[in-house]
Amino acid sequence: MRLFLWNAVLTLLVTCLSGALIPEPEVKIEVLQKPFICHRKTKGGDLMLVHYEGYLEKDGSLFHSTHKHNNGQPIWFTLGILEALKGWDQGLKGMCVGEKRKLTIPPALGYGKEGKVFEYHVCMPPFGKIAVFFMTSSACPLPRSGMVRFSTQCKIPPESTLIFNIDLLEIRNGPRSHESFQEMDLNDDWKLSKNEEIIVLEKSILRLPILLLFFPLMQ
């Protein structure tokens, strides 16, 4: 009986220790192209204009491209606020305009256990050219002036590792609210704890004498 209990305890300890040693998932970053001069690097809260292609690592099939499926237009997104995939927030920091990166994103930082289903809709605008739109709804983006020609689905299976080739075209300052929140969120858990609120308050109080000192000079 004792031997059985010892084995159970040892098994539990090994399980706990092995679980604790499992590394956090990370994005594999490969720089494919870099400019000679970099005036600014991306940081959390920045707006980024990018072109990208997304592939399934399993078979190399293309599931989305802004060149092909977004009417050829790049997209804007805000870095570091979970607006896109977690893997993008991790893999696109410190990037320069004109830089191209290849990101290999594990499932935990991509679409995870659920996967994703997208729909392509091909519409015929009034001027006769075919525009391809990539969206998740079934509505044509040109309901009055065009008509849906056909629709097809693209499925990203659960637990899929994704590969993205991403070109950075432009960086702009994001909304100040994003930067302010990130300054207050000291442990990057997307929540403000009581301790973080106290630290922010203390910093504000420390700046108060400086403001009072210069206030008479501004009158």
> What are 156's two structure tokens?
């990203």
Tell me, yes or no, whether 53 lies in a domain: yes
The residue written with tokens 């006769």 in the block is 128
If asked whether residues 168 and 197 sit together in one domain, one would say no
Helix H segments across the chain?
2-20, 66-69, 86-91, 176-184, 194-218
Distance CA(148)–CA(163), nearest Å, equals 30
Q: Which residues have a Cβ under 8 Å from the Cβ of 153 and sit 6 or more positions away?
A: 117, 118, 119, 120
pLDDT in tens, 87-135: 999 999 999 999 999 999 999 999 999 888 776 655 555 555 555 444 4
Tell me, yes or no, whether 84 lies in a domain: yes
Q: Specify the number of domains making up the chain.
A: 2
Which of 119, 84, 118 is CA-nearest to residue 103? 84
- Length in residues, the chain: 219
The residue range of the domain holding 199 is: 175-209
Tell me, yes or no, whether 149 lies in a domain: no
* Below-50 pLDDT ranges, the chain: 3-5, 17, 19-20, 132-145, 208, 210-219
Q: What does the pLDDT read at residue 38?
A: 95
Distance CA(112)–CA(157), nearest Å, equals 9
Helix H segments across 21-104?
66-69, 86-91
If asked whether residues 163 and 83 sit together in one domain, one would say yes
Q: How many C-beta atoms lie closer than 10 Å to residue 24's C-beta? A: 7
Tell me, yes or no, whether 130 lies in a domain: no
Q: What does the pLDDT read at residue 64?
A: 86
SS3 (DSSP) at 130: coil
Q: Which residues have a Cβ under 8 Å from the Cβ of 37 and sit 6 or more positions away?
A: none
Q: What does the pLDDT read at residue 94?
A: 96
If asked whether residues 83 and 164 sit together in one domain, one would say yes
Tell me, yes or no, whether 133 lies in a domain: no
Which of 54, 92, 53, 79 is CA-nearest to residue 172? 79
